[in-house]
Amino acid sequence: MIPIPKSSEQRPAKGEWSPRVVGGKRTAQLACPKCGDSGSLCTHEIAADGSVTPSVMCNACDYHESGLRLEGWTA
């Protein structure tokens, strides 16, 4: 698993995530570890341990990774 640290800011910096609620569902906003572009994980499942499925792709660059885990995620 590739650990992604939780941001201390509302807007995550490159390679970090921040909590969000979209349509009543707890999710996260992820800033791409490669280019820093930010996007929602609302179409992904986030397990109790922070594991994200399916794989994450960045629309701004060629980043595509499976096995991400959001550090500090609480179910």
What is the full per-residue pLDDT of the chain (75 aa) written as tens digits?
A: 999 999 999 999 999 999 999 999 999 999 999 999 999 999 999 999 999 999 999 999 999 999 999 999 997
The two beta strands, 68-70 and 2-4, are: parallel
Q: How far apart are CA 75 and CA 56, in angstroms?
A: 20
Of 22, 20, 23, 21, the residue nearest 31 (C-alpha)? 20
pLDDT of 24: 93
On average, the pLDDT of the chain sits at 96
pLDDT of 30: 98
Q: If you search the block for the tokens 């994200």, which residue do you land on?
A: 52
pTM value is 0.94
Q: How far apart are CA 67 and CA 51, in angstroms?
A: 7
**Torsion angles phi and psi, residue 57, rounded to 5:** -120, 140
Q: Where are the domains of the chain?
A: 2-70
